[in-house]
Chains A and B, each alone.
Chain A
Amino acid sequence: GESVGLHLPTLSVQEGDNSIINCAYSNSASDYFIWYKQESGKGPQFIIDIRSNMDKRQGQRVTVLLNKTVKHLSLQIAATQPGDSAVYFCAERGRGYQKVTFGTGTKLQVIP
């Protein structure tokens, strides 16, 4: 498959444990944030998103937390499974803009 990056920050987690992937964003005017998952050989896949008027949003096994004070976004994955191994990207969209800006990614390795 295609490699998505070299020297990415890597998070290693035991299967069944919870994972927390962090992301710092730069634009205080951003009003929409998204997490994507990218498996080897595939395009990024939408996981969950959150608007800036929210602090927390939950999906199936995933939770996104937004701290606007320190411009920090996190993705929590409950009961991590081997299929969660991938590169995870956070992305932001500036208010009034039509483009989405991506972070450089974090590699999640799940240890069986």
Chain B
Amino acid sequence: EAQVTQNPRYLITVTGKKLTVTCSQNMNHEYMSWYRQDPGLGLRQIYYSMNVEVTDKGDVPEGYKVSRKEKRNFPLILESPSPNQTSLYFCASSLIVPVQNSPLHFGNGTRLTVT
């Protein structure tokens, strides 16, 4: 089944403890992206990647890192999480940059709580 898989679904951590949220897609997509979703603010893009070893900042990149060493994986790294990073995170991918016939496919989300 074609899908975007995120892990974990739920994560509770403490301020300053490094964490990684994994994302994997099995559709051979070139484009991958991370979003965070907060009440009243919709989905905001954190980072995106056009292909292997090609990443770029989205609208809210501060406090996050990403890597794209393989086409299928796009982990999100929080080196020193803070409470303002408590949010619902989504990974998404598309065949190429999002255009008609290449829409974004989303994972089911990771709920992160930083205390």
Contact = CB atoms under 8 A, between A and B. Distances in A.
Q: Do A and B bind each other?
A: yes
Interface string B1-30: 000100000000000000000000000000
Query: Chain B interface secondary structure, helix, strand, loop or mixed?
Result: strand
B106 A105 contact: no
B78 to A, nearest CB: 19
Contacts of A104: 40-42
Interface residues of B, number: 33
Given A89-B42, A93-B98, A99-B48, 20 more contacts: A32-B98, A34-B103, A34-B104, A36-B106, A41-B108, A41-B109, A43-B109, A44-B90, A44-B92, A45-B106, A49-B103, A51-B100, A91-B43, A93-B99, A98-B48, A99-B45, A99-B59, A100-B45, A100-B98, A104-B40
- Report the 10 A-B pairs with minimum CB-CB distance, sorted nearest first: A43-B106, A102-B43, A104-B42, A46-B103, A6-B39, A5-B39, A102-B42, A98-B97, A44-B106, A43-B108
